[in-house]
Chain A
């Protein structure tokens, strides 16, 4: 650990969906913090600086198990889990087939269940741990065309609250970050007029950077957030206020 590394660093951190967007920003944040970082991605980017990149789709239970075994062997048990892997398959409900529904729930909600379950098995023995689920302001606003996405992201909040109670006696905290409009590939996919329309709903009048979301995730993983559990931290420029 270098002299400048903040207290409480040097932990084993796992970020899912770590190759792009918010996940990649989280990977960079924890690496800079002096932690031992691994990330999962369906197609990992070229070697990220100082992080262990593993090809793993969170919809594959065997792949998740293999990835955890690999991480535990190389970095030790996961102490901080950032469940960030997520997809969208936006379409109006009348046109949303089972596959579009299932795919989004399977990655965003069930994928989080899979990695949380596996991480918690070890955290119980450690008697410490941090679970941070990346939800979305979309869970509360409920934008048209996002029934599947909103349901999956709202589901994370319920799951986090149940787990917060379940795991509190072991000093394992479980929190949710709810980003609003973040400048990532997922947002770039929107057409320009829709994006402008959405920005008008944001009091701060701009999109967030992925780094601004990563900073909130980093805080919830920090020593200073030790008394925070079951919380939903919006990082949405004021878009969701009170929802």
Chain B
């Protein structure tokens, strides 16, 4: 389990683009999940912190696919529990 925690360590050079993308991601989440912007942090857990059920997540994925013009496979969504994990998945496709 400890090795999984290392995912969030990223180089500083990526941050500018990544910040803009995260802002877009956050707007999608705010709109679909109907939560205040400040709650959508990378550490936030969809179920516990954002009160999102599985249908909310389906809706969010569809909105993200549309907004970022990407495709997300079902299998890629397994084990995604936090906003940060979801964002990393989206960012990896940009």
Residue positions of A touching B, CB distance < 8 A: 121, 124-125, 166-167, 169-170
Residue contact A121 to B55, C-beta cutoff 8 Å: no
Known A-B contacts: A125-B59, A166-B55, A169-B55. Give 7 more (CB < 8 A): A121-B62, A124-B55, A124-B58, A124-B59, A167-B55, A169-B53, A170-B55
Residues of B within 8 Å of A, CB-based: how many? 5
Bound together, the chains give a CA A124 to CA B53 distance in angstroms of: 12
Chain B residue at minimum C-beta to C-beta distance from A168: B55
10 CB contacts below 8 A, A to B, read A121-B62, A124-B55, A124-B58, A124-B59, A125-B59, A166-B55, A167-B55, A169-B53, A169-B55, A170-B55
Chain A residue at minimum C-beta to C-beta distance from B32: A125
Q: How many A-B residue pairs have CB under 8 A?
A: 10
Residue positions of B touching A, CB distance < 8 A: 53, 55, 58-59, 62
Residues on the B chain within 8 Å of A125, using CB: 59
Chain A residue at minimum C-beta to C-beta distance from B54: A166
Bound together, the chains give a CA A166 to CA B55 distance in angstroms of: 8
A32 to chain B, nearest CB (A): 34
Chain B residue at minimum C-beta to C-beta distance from A166: B55
Residues on the B chain within 8 Å of A121, using CB: 62
B47 to chain A, nearest CB (A): 14
